[in-house]
Amino acid sequence: NAGVIQTPRHKVTGKGQEATLWCEPISGHSAVFWYRQTIVQGLEFLTYFRNQAPIDDSGMPKERFSAQMPNQSHSTLKIQSTQPQDSAVYLCASSLGWGQNTLYFGAGTRLSVL
Amino acid sequence: GDSVTQTEGLVTVTEGLPVMLNCTYQTAYSDVAFFWYVQYLNEAPKLLLRSSTDNKRTEHQGFHATLHKSSSSFHLQKSSVQLSDSALYYCALSDLGGSAKLIFGEGTKLTVSS
């Protein structure tokens, strides 16, 4: 079991460019989560899917952030028109689902917006 | 809404001495699980311990925590820290009856010195 896989590990974009982050959850896990990690805010919840369906996107900045899960083996987080304040580590996690709320995290993608 | 508070952003302890990392919470839910996650440098956060039972001590890797609903706390303790315990520690809660997402505190960076 390779765990949750996130690519790329590091991404540098210029202000105003688009960034797409990829996540491959653990096989057999039905829930996929996206978090943003910063020193000041810690781990902020962004959104999550269960059985590929979006369940809760209450943490997503509405205007420039979007997430999709087109199949059970991967999810993407897209940030349009990136801004310097979007610089953070973006973590993906998966879990077995209902009643099994233990999250297994990937190593994250460090996004730097110049 | 639900929230988790970790009052210490940085804790420094000498090797061999005890440590307690504070975690308090607010939640409207009655069926809730509580977690401590540990993140070593350049690694993914991983589960350290988990509890949903009031007044029951939970232990793992020399760390222990007891959920006290009367004081809304889930402090993490260790009687004798090691240099290898230096890491970022996050406290979190999850509503077992509804959303599977975890709500994290701001995190506490533990530095163990020799």
Domain segments of chain B as ranges = 3-113
**Mean pLDDT computed over B60-66:** 96
Tell me what percent of the residues of chain A surpass a pLDDT of 90: 86
What's the pLDDT at B96? 80
Confidence band of A99 (pLDDT split at 50, 70, 90): low
Q: Is A42 on the interface with B (CB under 8 A)?
A: yes
What residue has token string 């199949």?
A: A71
Which residues on chain B are in Cβ contact (under 8 Å) with A45?
Answer: 101-104
Query: Has residue A1 got a pLDDT over 70?
Result: no
> What is the rounded distance in angstroms from the CA atom of residue B65 to the CA atom of residue A93?
24
Question: Across residues A92-113, what is the average pLDDT?
Answer: 88
The residue that leads in pLDDT, A9 or A39, is: A9
Q: pLDDT tens digits for B97-112?
A: 777 789 999 999 999 9
Where are chain A's structural domains? 5-113
> Average pLDDT for residues B34-58, to the nearest whole number?
94
Q: Are the C-beta atoms of residues B109 and B12 closer than 8 Å to each other?
A: no
A53-62, long-range: CB within 8 Å, 24+ apart, which pairs?
Answer: A55/B99, A55/B100, A56/B99, A56/B101
CATH of A5-113, one of 3.60.20.10, 2.60.40.10, 2.102.10.10, 3.90.480.20: 2.60.40.10
| pLDDT at residue A98, rounded to an integer | 66
* Residue B16 to chain A, least CA–CA distance (Å): 28
Min Cα separation A82/chain B (Å): 24
Q: Once rounded to an integer, what is the mean pLDDT over residues A46-59?
A: 93
Q: Indicate yes or no: CB of A101 within 8 angstroms of CB of B45.
A: no
Q: Which residues pair with B47 in a beta bridge?
A: B37
* Cβ distance of B100 and A4 shorter than 8 Å: no
Contact A101 B47 (CB under 8 A): no
User: Of the CATH numbers 3.40.50.450, 2.60.40.10, 3.20.20.70, 1.10.287.3510, which one belongs to the domain with range B3-113?
Assistant: 2.60.40.10
Report d(CA A63, CA A80) in Å as an integer.
Answer: 9
Biggest CA pair distance of chain A: 41
Tokens for A94, please give them. Answer: 């998966």
- The phi, psi pair for B70, rounded to 5°, reads -65, -30
Mean residue pLDDT across chain A: 93
Query: Which comes out higher in pLDDT, residue A29 or A97?
Result: A29
Of B47, B96, B100, the CB nearest to A48: B100
Cβ contacts of B31 on chain A, cutoff 8 Å? none
